Amino acid sequence: MMKEITIYDIADKLKISAATVSRGLKDHPLVNHKTKKLIVDAAEEMGYRSNYMASNLRNQKSNVIGVIVPRLNSSFMSDVIAGIEKVVNDANYNLFISQSLETMKKEASNAKAMLNNRVEGLLVSLAYDTADIAHFEPFIKRKIPLVFFDRVFEHAACPQIYIDNYKAAREVTTHLIDQGCKRIVHITANLLRSVYSERFNGYKKALEEHQLEFDDSLLIVNDLSSQAGVAAAGQILKMPVLPDGVFVANDLCAISCMQTLKKHGINIPQDIAFAGFNNDPTACVVEPNLTTINYKGYEMGEAAAKLMVAHLNNYDVKQMHSVVLRSELIIRESSLRNKSS
């Protein structure tokens, strides 16, 4: 293994003190220009790497913000991270990014690693099965800023960035009803997560407002993966009476479910109208194009990061405890049974 070059090695080579080398590398005004150049040139030649970690520990700052997301392989989360990175980099912070892979156990492990690496703040979108946030308590107790986004957890000490999932789901379901749908399947994830329970409640409210009774047999709960969409299509095909509408809590699952039904001779939207959620880029590629809810991941990332930076700069953010972002219904061919809509 190659030996790590230190300021003492540089000092020994140049026959000057380590203190002078340290000052020269930091461009200190007490070191003359000629000596600074000798120090910088020697450092580069010898392969010296500044020990930022040691320096940051002395300053009690890491200049690193942690991010934990459920999965990195989604266009929405990629947009979120891009928004976060733009803001934190402009504020001279770096990111430490990890994924929970949709499990609370991995999420807890990631949180511990973030704490051990002395992140100055933590941005989190919770895993599918996270039942409580005990693993984040060390951050709260140490007053390390913790901000939840998208999949959030209500906590007095932790701001949240999200959309009005209840309103959006109510709007999607109302649209399907306006297209003549009366038996609407709702495919969603673990209702423990507020993001999914709110979408479910919005769906139920729209049914109630149109005098349609909620039918528990039309509720399908899975992990909203592509494979789950295929399985959900199988469940739908086995129903004694086929539904005339399907509202899925994300686009990935909606698309695979819709495609599987098409392979079994179901016409979309004539037989079953479809709507998803998130406005994934594939929603415009699949045939027919998928009706969905659009909300911008980049904007969510920016909002979460700005709130975090405000915390770290000791701004008063009490009036911004929860930030609700805009969303909109995008109507496409998958749900248009009434062409005048």
* Mean pLDDT in residue range 154-166: 91
Burial 87-108 (b: 16+ CB within 10 A, else e): bbeebebebbebbbebebebbb
Sheet harboring 322-325: ordered strands across?
A: 94-99, 64-69, 121-124, 146-149, 160-163, 322-325
262: confidence class by pLDDT, cuts 50, 70, 90: very high
CATH class of 7-50: mainly alpha
Q: Which band of pLDDT confidence, cut at 50, 70 and 90, is reported for residue 313?
A: confident
Homologous superfamily (CATH) for 62-163+296-326: Response regulator (3.40.50.2300)
Cα–Cα nearest to 75, from 209, 204, 250, 236: 250
Name the band, by pLDDT with cuts 50, 70 and 90, for residue 192.
Answer: confident
- Of 279, 323, 322, 297, nearest to 67 (Cα)? 297
Report the amino acid identity of residue 99: Q
- Are 62-163+296-326 and 165-295+329-335 equal in CATH topology? yes
pLDDT tens sequence across 60-71: 567 899 999 999
Q: What is the pTM of this model?
A: 0.77
- Sketch the domain layout of the chain as residue ranges: 7-50, 62-163+296-326, 165-295+329-335
CATH code that applies to domain 165-295+329-335: 3.40.50.2300
* CA distances from residue 24 to 10, 21, 33 in whole angstroms, order as listed: 11, 5, 9
Place of tokens 């040691």: 54
| Per-residue pLDDT at 51 | 60
Beta bridge partners of 64: 94
Per-residue pLDDT at 2: 53
Highest mean pLDDT among 35-39, 55-59, 122-126, 278-282: 122-126
pLDDT digits (tens, 9 = 90+) for 1-36: 456 788 899 999 999 998 899 888 888 888 899 999
